[in-house]
Amino acid sequence: MDAARSYLDHAATTPMLPEAVEVMSRELGRVGNASSLHASGRAARRVVEESRELIAERLGARPSEVVFTSGGTEANNLAIKGLFWARRSPERQRILFSSIEHHALLDPVTWLAAHEGARIDVTPVDRQGRIQLDALHASVEQNPDDITVLTTMWANNEMGTIQPIREVVELAGRHGIPVHSDAVQAAGYVPLDFAGSELDAMTVTAHKLGGPVGVGALVIKRDVAPTPLLHGGGQERDLRSGTVGVALIAAFATALDLTVARQAEQADRIERLRQRLVDGITRIVPDAVVNGDPHAGQDHRLPNIAHVTFPGCEGDAMLMLFDAQGVEVSTGSACAAGVPQPSHVLLAMGFDEVAARGSLRFSLGHSSTDADVDRVLEVLPAVHERARAARLVRGGTR
């Protein structure tokens, strides 16, 4: 990362930890396919299995429950498509999922509806971005026998709002419904205990934890058997065929190990930075609105995400103005065919399109410093003024 720039988009990807870079660089020099039986292959397999054991320990899982994938998107697809295909019948075609899922889950679910006959049942959320348990309860009790799988993310990637996973699992467990959770955003900032959660499947990925892009895992109980997406050599319990990336997996394990060890200390430090940031933003722009759960803590929201609406501004314009000043942030909106679209997460939370388009996500991480926050607050007045002026020129306040 250029030292002259302030990076506040850790929720998209966070810089690799130096220790993970060192491990990956060392392992890239190793020869040997981990499926080969000769000495080089056995050495590579040892690295993979020791990494698997470490990852499992840090996530509260058994090593046999860790299935390596290319990242969070593949793990989510394997969980949702795989469980749907494995459990569907003429009488059982329904998928329950929350209205604020990442596109890595939203798109597989909508694809199953369009191509495989799945019936989608969407759980609404409140104004803080937390699923409404009473609505979920009503959906389940409507006919629990027709549900193939239920999925709810552990923490939302735009708001940072933490979901009531234990209550969701308890509700589904009464009827034997498998529950999956996308824990990609949560893994670096709140303690995860797969066994304690009683989830059936959970997604994590390395690049949100200070590891490399291109590797993640689906943590899945041994007695849960989704239909594989890929067929080939039978690696990873025959759930994910393909030659495993030894260096990627070793770096993933190192990053997760260090992140978990430092989690409590880093969460406190990052929460203080976040508070400085939101205090400064609301002081400089009094009508700015900080969204999501106002309370910190593992039952409320992640410590690293601040989602802010700037009335009278376009988020995309502010992003580019910030970028021109060396500050990198995110809008949280999707872009389809070059046309910015309001975030489906914000719309699900009750925002109108104007407010949804006028929001930014500031996300901090292990490399964030007071200087990053200072830089945001330094350039914010000019960025805000120019963005408001541009909006007025393009068509008034609407």
Q: What burial letters (b/e) apply to 327-351, b meaning 16+ CB within 10 Å?
A: bbbbbbbeeeeeeeebbbbbbbbeb
Q: Are strands 6-7 and 327-328 parallel, antiparallel or unpaired?
A: parallel
From-to residues of CATH 3.90.1150.10 in the chain: 6-14+263-395
pLDDT tens digits along 295-346:
988 889 999 999 999 999 999 999 999 999 999 999 865 444 345 678 899 9
Q: Which long-range contacts (CB under 8 A, 24 or more apart) does 19-26 make?
A: 19/254, 19/255, 19/258, 20/210, 20/211, 20/212, 20/251, 20/252, 20/254, 20/255, 20/258, 21/251, 23/247, 23/250, 23/251, 23/254, 24/212, 24/247, 24/248, 24/250, 24/251
Note the pLDDT of residue 285.
98
The tokens describing 93, both together, are 């075609």
Q: Which listed residue (28, 138, 335, 371) is catalytic? A: 335
CATH 1.10.3210.10, applies to 18-257? no
Beta carbons of 5 and 324 less than 8 angstroms apart: no
Q: In 3D, which of 324, 341, 323, 322 has the Cα closest to residue 332?
A: 341
Note the pLDDT of residue 397.
43
Note the pLDDT of residue 398.
38
Note the pLDDT of residue 356.
86
Note the pLDDT of residue 341.
75
Residue 1 identity:
M
Q: Which CATH architecture has domain 6-14+263-395?
A: Alpha-Beta Complex (3.90)
Cα(121)–Cα(314) distance, integer angstroms: 32
From-to residues of CATH 3.40.640.10 in the chain: 18-257
Note the pLDDT of residue 298.
84
Per residue of the chain (398 residues), give pLDDT as tens: 455 799 999 999 999 999 999 999 999 999 999 999 999 999 999 999 999 999 999 999 999 999 999 999 999 999 999 999 999 999 999 999 999 999 999 999 999 999 999 999 999 999 999 999 999 999 999 999 999 999 999 999 999 999 999 999 999 999 999 999 999 999 989 999 999 999 999 999 999 999 999 999 999 999 999 999 999 999 999 999 999 999 999 999 999 999 999 999 999 999 999 999 999 999 999 999 999 999 988 889 999 999 999 999 999 999 999 999 999 999 865 444 345 678 899 999 998 888 888 999 999 999 999 999 999 999 999 999 999 998 766 654 43
Tokens 């070793």 belong to which residue? 250
Helix (H, G, I), strand (E, B) or coil at 204: strand
Instruction: Please classify residue 12 by burial: count the beta carbons closer than 10 Å to its beta carbon, then call 0-12 exposed, 13-18 middle and 19+ buried.
Output: middle
Instruction: Please confirm, yes or no, whether 313 is among the known catalytic residues.
Output: no
Cα(386)–Cα(294) distance, integer angstroms: 28
Tokens 């589904």 belong to which residue? 172
The single-letter DSSP state of residue 17 is: P
Cα(238)–Cα(222) distance, integer angstroms: 12
